Structure 1
Amino acid sequence: MRVTVFGSGGVGGYFGALLARAGHEVTFIARGPHLEAMRARGLQVHSVHGDFHLYPVRATDRPEEAPPADLVLYAVKTYHIPETVGMLPRLLGPEGVVLTTQNGVEAPDQVAAEVGVERTLAGAVWVVSRIEAPGVIRQESAFRRVVLGELDGQLTPRAQAIARAFAEAGAEAEATAEIRKVLWTKFLFIAAIGGVGSVVRLPIGAWRAVPETRALLEQAMREIEAAARAEGVALDPEAVPQTMAFIDNLAPTATASMQRDVEAGRPLELEAMSGAVVRIGRRHGLPTPAHAFLYAVLKPVHLQALRNAGAG
């Protein structure tokens, strides 16, 4: 399979490397020192599942140089979607498809608006990985899971074939006829814990049992549950208590990824998290006070990080 990885950071770089190691023809779209290092020294993966090194690596910062792809693994951050999504049609081969990997629930439809529903697969990814240094990916979680599916809810041979390719490369992967439900169930967790954790800025053990803060967390989840229902997605009836129980079992030192972005001064995926809940709620006439609060408090933090990144 001919694969183009658009966004070669922790997610794209890691799963793209797995596919390349498995024998697929992979082109990485990257930039800056990470690109330079991959061109010069290849891509090094340090993983709890075993280290490996890819060399040589096909890598470019010019999407038009990538050969027509059977699969585009679209792994940019959500705040980079507006500036990159228009490049996707030219990356696809005649039967090519784009697989989204972003957090949140809006990216698949943003991609489908550019390439068509028939050329879009939605994906949900669970992995802990990051760029450790230019040309080096550090993967730290026992889990490395990909669930993908068609936007129309069909379980198609192509979705199953792509899931099989990930599985044969070493990931836990499956195709599903309920990808919208999968995305919203993940969203219920990450948008709530990410928003609250980013405001509190303490490890979860310091705040999950504080009654007032716990009530804010549950309210944030209930707003997402209501938004999903309004969008026609039926989450499991016990989705909120099950997610609360999962959070209660996290290590007390755990922090959400968006919280870590706040602490590091990086831009936030805020528009795809609380921003999306507020927008969807407004569209359906639903009150979303918890996420409106989280969005209002965190937006200046995000804007400041964007200004600092531009200055750099």
Structure 2
Amino acid sequence: MNILIMAAGAVGGYFGSVLSKTNEVTFIARGEHLGKIQKNGLSVKSVTSGNFVSKSKAYESPPPGYKADLIIFCVKEYQNQKACEVISNSVTDDTTILTLQNGLGSGDILGKEFGREKILLGAAYIEASKGAPGLIVEHGGVCRITFGGQTEEQTEKVQRLEQIFKVSSIDFTISKNINDDLWQKLVFISALSGMTCITRSSFKEVMAHPSTRDITKALVNETASVASRLIPNFSTDTVANVIEYLETHKDDLVSSMHQDLLAGNPMEIDAINGAVSREGKNLGIPTPLNDMIASCLSLQDLRARS
């Protein structure tokens, strides 16, 4: 199985390295991170999988003639256009593309580019980071991929991916309603990312301050109200479960969007709080908290992109 990882950040680097134990994996990376992988392999320090080094090949773009059976697409939302260009020559009629991006919209973008029938939607639940160039650190806790097809015609692709993950000992769940799962994650991440970014604070600090803790809970409810209108039979216990998880794990939760903000990088605001805001407007549901967060953070995002 030829598996292309686009790209070897925290999520792609971890799951790609685990998959490389039983598959031919190729990483896409750049800069010093790419150089370290090419020289020494990709080192993984993992509570879940142990410490090991993946000796998979790595490139800035796939070599000429390379064709992928499976592409795991996990770049940041603002890198989509460039990433699609990078993988385009590696996609065949039989290629499956699993998107693990945060927020909403990646399935539509990839579907328009390569054909909806090739695209499986997924969500990665993992606490991981790029510890240094050439190093991925997985911190323990939940380490799972939830994925599913968009149509019944994709059943064979789903079953094939199921076997790949089983052989590689990757924890996974096959979703019967992947859009429900993606919105459940969005309810969580819109609160975590939105509040840490708008306050420029750790989530521990956000939850320790009564007023910002209350706003966080209100944000969870606001996003869930949009999901409930959009998704038939949206999980009714989502709000309680998300708030409980945020409170229980407040000391350890880190938002990648907050890390991007602090580093002066572009952010995935358009796919997270911005997506909730747009869907709310389309449905006639007020989303003042998501509107405010998306509008305010767009200033810093535009500055970073320029």
Fold in common (TM above 0.5):
yes
Q: What are the Cα deviations for residues 198-224 of structure 1, in whole angstroms up to 9, with x where unaligned?
A: 222333343336453234223322332
Asked if 2 retains the 8 angstrom alpha-carbon contact of 1:275 and 1:291, the reply is yes
Deviation at 1:160, TM superposition (A): 2.5
Counterparts of 1:35-46 in structure 2, within 5 Å, are 35-46=34-45
Distance 1:14 1:269 in 2: 21
Distance 1:198 1:129 in 2: 19
- The size of the alignment, in residue pairs, is 305
Deviation at 1:89, TM superposition (A): 4.2
Deviation at 1:131, TM superposition (A): 2.1
Q: What are the Cα deviations for residues 134-169 of structure 1, in whole angstroms up to 9, with x where unaligned?
A: 222222123320111101267713212213312321
Would you say 1:260 and 2:233 are equivalent positions? no
Of 183-192 and 196-205, more deviation after overlay is shown by: 196-205
Corresponding position of 2:7: 7
Corresponding position of 1:216: 215
Would the alpha carbon gap of residues 256 and 137 (structure 1) be closer, same or farther in structure 2, given more than 3 Å must change?
closer
Spell out structure 1 runs of 4+ moving beyond 6 A.
none
Structure 2 residue matching 1:224: 3-state secondary structure? helix
Would the alpha carbon gap of residues 264 and 233 (structure 1) be closer, same or farther in structure 2, given more than 3 Å must change?
farther
Q: What are the Cα deviations for residues 219-273 of structure 1, in whole angstroms up to 9, with x where unaligned?
A: 3223322322343343211211221122121243644332233233332211111
Would the alpha carbon gap of residues 35 and 206 (structure 1) be closer, same or farther in structure 2, given more than 3 Å must change?
closer
Distance 1:45 1:303 in 2: 34
Deviation at 1:180, TM superposition (A): 0.9
Structure 2 residue matching 1:37: 3-state secondary structure? helix
Deviation at 1:33, TM superposition (A): 1.4
Counterparts of 1:187-206 in structure 2, within 5 Å, are 187-206=186-205
Corresponding position of 1:72: 71
Corresponding position of 1:310: none
Would the alpha carbon gap of residues 254 and 126 (structure 1) be closer, same or farther in structure 2, given more than 3 Å must change?
closer
What is the TM-score with the length of structure 1 in the denominator? 0.89
Aligned partner of 1:206: which letter? E
Aligned partner of 2:53: which letter? H
Of 60-69 and 126-135, more deviation after overlay is shown by: 60-69
Structure 2 unaligned spans of 5+:
none
Aligned partner of 1:53: which letter? V
Counterparts of 1:47-126 in structure 2, within 5 Å, are 47-48=46-47, 49-55=49-55, 57-63=56-62, 65=64, 67-126=66-125
Asked if 2 retains the 8 angstrom alpha-carbon contact of 1:88 and 1:114, the reply is no
Distance 1:236 1:137 in 2: 33
Identity within the alignment, %: 30
Provide the aligned C-alpha RMSD in A: 2.2
Aligned partner of 2:291: which letter? A
Distance 1:64 1:101 in 2: 23
Distance 1:143 1:36 in 2: 30
Structure 1 unaligned spans of 5+:
308-312
Distance 1:145 1:253 in 2: 17
Would the alpha carbon gap of residues 116 and 271 (structure 1) be closer, same or farther in structure 2, given more than 3 Å must change?
same
